[in-house]
Each structure stands twice: as C-alpha cells, then as structure tokens.
Structure 1
Amino acid sequence: MSKPETDSTTASGRDPGPAEQAAVRIDEVAVRFRTRKRDVTALREVSLDVPMGEFVAIVGPSGCGKSTLLKMVAGLLKPTTGTVRLNGEKVAGPRHDIGYVFQRAALLEWRSARRNILLQAEMRRMPGEQARRRTAELIEMTGLSGFEDALPHELSGGMQQRVALCRALLHEPPVLLMDEPFGALDALTREQLNIEMNRIWRTTRTTVLLVTHSIPEAVFLANRVVVMSDRPGTIREIIDVDLPAEREYAATLAMPEFASVAGRIRELLGAGAAVE
C-alpha cells in the first residue's frame, strides 16, 4: 500500500520520465463554487498522475468530488486553482480525444446497436470503412455478436452498457473515463461486465479512470485505487493492487491480497461510508 500522495508522482513515487509520461496529470487542483447561501469547496489540493495504460479506480463517500474530477479531465469543468493535463497538454476546454461512459447508456431508441456505436463516427467524421471495421471488432470483443441490429429496448441493461462502451472506444481514445457505468445493473450482470471490462482493458491497454461506489469492483478492476475523503474531497491514500492482470472473478475475490486492499479501503472510508 502506498502513502497518501500530495504531489504529482507515479505509482512508484517518481516523476514520470519520457518513456513513462503521465496520460493524466492532476496538479494541486481545487474546485470551489458559490450556492445561493454559501461558498462550497468541492475539491482541495488534489494531485494525481496516471501513467499511460494504467487502470485507476476512484472511490469515496457520496458528494466527495469523484465525478467532478472526471469532468475536469474531460474539460467539462475548469478547476478553480491547479491544472489538469492530458498527455502533457493542458486541458483548457472540452476534450474530443477521450472516451466517456456514464451510468446510463443514453442510447438513441430508434437506432440499432451498431448504428448507436457508429454515431460516434458520424460526430467525428471518421472514414466510413475504418469506422465499420472498428465497430465490428468492438462488437465481437464485447460479446454483442448477433445483437448488432437490435434496438435498445430489445437489449438488456448490461448489453446497453456494452453498446455505450463500444461507442466510447470507437475512436481508440488514449484515455477512457467511466462514471459509475455499472452502478444501475443487477449484481450478476455487474460481475459479468467487470470480467468483460478487465478483458477489454488487457486487450486495448487504454488508460482508464473509473469512478465507483463499489469497493470490490474497484479492487477487481484497478492497478491502483484512489481513496477520497469527505467533502472537501482530497486524496486520503492511493493503494497499489498487487494482483495478476488477468483476473477470474471468484478466485480473485478469494485472494488474501484482494481482502487486504478491500479491508484497507473500508478502514479509510469508515463503517458509515456510502459504498458497497
């Protein structure tokens, strides 16, 4: 387990060199806003480096600023102080080179699964043949073969989220942001998608930032888990997950290393934290 990070470091505690440049660098970020009654500090002194190809999960109490962090990386929200960089470039506005998966799939009801995925290509004006080939690869990768022409209402919740994931990965983004993507699913479907997500990440090696309220999900999927404090949110501790890259669900959850990391996260969050 690592010490709490208060500066921009990699998992090893070093500044990333040229071969280990951070895909995401969050440096001394704070977010403050004013309500009708008072000033609110949502985040304070948050620093985090995510090396290319790493899977990082962010957990913490409800309202601690987890989703706010993702919005800053996406360029949808500007920090009050501090900076956010993607692949060395300062984030100054909405980024079109990322993928974003939300809790709800947000599919267009009148478009088939394939055409919902291709909506990304239309918006980005990707070459048609390239987009169709990539769509076919993703459909096979995510187990959607046979459902390409199904409309959203003909798909289960898990399948709809697979379509949303394919749409986010279509343009091969260097960074994938996931904001509670499996939170609304039943436990079995969520477990299946956790297994699928681990396999997809091992295949693509896309840099992933996942926000989740589920401690088992965070530990199962991530290389490191960022544990946030109550609002104003800051990083309490960053914990290395020393598990094999390929993870079979039941066997992984039974490992003492898994129990150790999950136990430490629960200890940091406290018995009353709003997490699973």
Structure 2
Amino acid sequence: MSSYAVEISDVTVRFRTKKRDVLALREVTLNVEPGEFIAIVGPSGCGKSTLLKLTSGLLAPSTGSVRLHGEDVTGPRKDVGYVFQKAALLEWRTARKNILLQAEMRHLPAREAQQRADELIEMTGLAGFEDAYPHELSGGMQQRVALCRALLHRPPVLLMDEPFGALDALTREQMNVELRRIWQETGTTVLLVTHSISEAVYLADRVVMVTARPGTVAGVVDVDLPVERDYGRTMADPEFARATQHIRDHLGAAQAAVVGD
C-alpha cells in the first residue's frame, strides 16, 4: 500500500475536438502526502483543473496513472470533496439543507449527517445563518456553505478549483484565513487550483508550478513558513516575498521556454 494520498504518475491527457487534437497535459508526475496542502498555479488553460478532474476520477488519463491512497482511480471517487469557483447552491434550500444535500446523495445516516453539519456550521462561522437562503448570503458565506457541503462526508482528499476567484479582495483574504484554519482542524489533504500566487504561498505547504499548454510541472516550491500563519505578518515575512518572487520568475521562464519550443 502506498504512503501517498495522491499519486499522479507520468500522466498525459489528450482531447479530441471536431477540428483537432489538443494536448492538455504532458508527462505530469506529482506525489502528495496525507494531510498536505498543495496549491497549483499556472496560466489559464494550462490544465490545472484537468489535474483535479483526474484526481477525482471524472476524467481518465490518455497515458499514465492516478492513484488515491494506493488505489487506482478508474472512475468517479466517493472519497473526495470538490469545491468549485461558483458555490452552485440550490436557491430553494437553506444553507443547512444545501449542506445536507451531500448526505442525501450519499445516503448517509441522517443523525450522523445532522451532527456533522452542526460541527461544520460552527467551524466555518455560519452559525446564525444556517436557515438563510442563498440569496440572503454574501458570496463569501455561500462559499462557506459549499465548503461545508464538500466536507460533510469527511473526505480524506479535498479538491478546490479556484474557489475564491469571484470574491472581492477583502472577502478573499478572510476566506484564505478561514480555509487555512479549517484545514489545520480537519487534517484533510487539499489540492487547490488558483491563479493567485500570493494565495498559493499563504495557504500551501508546497506550490506546484504548471507551464502553459501542454501543461507539465515546471517545478515545485516548498513554502518555509510557520504552520500558524497570521495573514498580515505572513505577507511581511521575507520568506513569503522570496517564494512568491521565485514562482513568478520560474513561471515566466517556463512560459518563455514553451513559446520557444
């Protein structure tokens, strides 16, 4: 049995369209430890979201293999949580009932699901808003509901595809702080796709840099910051500046190399 939570081994993904074949990812290899927080950054269209779809089993690689906790991913997995850029809440259901939709779909025991929902509502600061409908919630609150829904079944792996991209800057900062805290409390393995280098460095243990399409891993940056990260102090930390600049420089060089090819 493998010790890794996620293993992506020499994966290439090709799509066929009516007009041409598209090489989305080329020979990508990535190993993720249990409980690790990984951020994936790179230019638009480089295949970042495709990596999450491969991990969840929503997409099969053209070549190579994907494994979760030592098991080959051969189809959609029930042991992952998924948070998208849009909260995708049902407008006719309250926050609590949107969270519990996960339990209904997975046929979880009702009492256990209710208790878990209560824990998550408290953990994410939604207490007092559990009976509100989506139109009564801010964008940040809606994403909290979506996060609770994804965590309801206690998935060992949480996939997040640009979950805060549509939020204003201040709300996004608040959600970064909340996500970092929730990750520490749950111990879930997280793979986060983001276009924000600063967000990636603040949140992650390691940042994976992906080149322009066809996407491949340009490098991995270890983030040498304290586990407990006050947002203001982290932004002023020399290590934060070093890591963000290194990623910018490296992605720029990788982009130039792809163009040169």
Matched, 1:182 2:169: no
| Aligned counterparts of 1:115 and 1:143: Cα–Cα separation in 2 | 16
Residue identity opposite 2:200 in structure 1: A
* Aligned position for 1:115: 97
* Aligned position for 1:258: 240
Out of 177, 193, 210, the position equivalent to 1:195 is 177
* Aligned position for 2:26: 44
Out of 217, 222, 242, the position equivalent to 1:235 is 217
Residue 123 of structure 1 aligns to a residue whose secondary structure is: helix
Q: Deviations over 1:85-126 (max 9, x none)?
A: 000000000111100000000000000000000000111111
| Aligned counterparts of 2:58 and 2:229: Cα–Cα separation in 1 | 33
Structure 1 residues 126, 238: closer, same or farther in 2, change over 3 A? same
* Aligned position for 2:36: 54
* Aligned position for 1:8: none
**Shift of residue 268, structure 1, vs aligned partner:** 1.5
**Shift of residue 181, structure 1, vs aligned partner:** 0.2
**Shift of residue 36, structure 1, vs aligned partner:** 2.3
Residue identity opposite 2:144 in structure 1: R
The count of corresponding residues between Structure 1 and Structure 2 is: 255
**Shift of residue 37, structure 1, vs aligned partner:** 2.2
**Shift of residue 215, structure 1, vs aligned partner:** 0.5
Residue identity opposite 2:98 in structure 1: N
Out of 56, 59, 67, the position equivalent to 1:85 is 67
Matched, 1:71 2:70: no
Q: Deviations over 1:24-57 (max 9, x none)?
A: 0000000012222222110001000000000000
Q: Deviations over 1:211-245 (max 9, x none)?
A: 00000100000000000011100000000001111
**TM-score for the superposition, normalised by structure 1:** 0.90
The gaps in structure 2 that reach 5 residues or longer are 256-261
| Aligned counterparts of 1:30 and 1:76: Cα–Cα separation in 2 | 15
| Aligned counterparts of 1:251 and 1:212: Cα–Cα separation in 2 | 22
Out of 227, 236, 239, the position equivalent to 1:245 is 227
4+ residue runs of structure 1 moved beyond 6 angstroms?
A: none
| Aligned counterparts of 1:29 and 1:52: Cα–Cα separation in 2 | 21
Percent of residue pairs bearing the same amino acid type:
71
Residue 168 of structure 1 aligns to a residue whose secondary structure is: helix
8 Å CA contact 2:66–2:73 kept in 1: the answer is: yes
Matched, 1:32 2:30: no
| Aligned counterparts of 1:134 and 1:104: Cα–Cα separation in 2 | 23
* Aligned position for 2:120: 138
| Aligned counterparts of 1:77 and 1:122: Cα–Cα separation in 2 | 24
* Aligned position for 2:133: 151
8 Å CA contact 1:120–1:168 kept in 2: the answer is: yes
8 Å CA contact 1:112–1:148 kept in 2: the answer is: yes
Query: Relative to structure 2, which stretch is displaced further, 174-183 or 239-248?
Result: 239-248
**Shift of residue 270, structure 1, vs aligned partner:** 2.1
Residue 5 of structure 2 aligns to a residue whose secondary structure is: strand
* Aligned position for 1:99: 81
Higher helix share: 2
8 Å CA contact 1:202–1:246 kept in 2: the answer is: no
Residue identity opposite 2:114 in structure 1: R
**TM-score for the superposition, normalised by structure 2:** 0.96
What is the Cα-based RMSD across aligned positions, in Å?
1.3
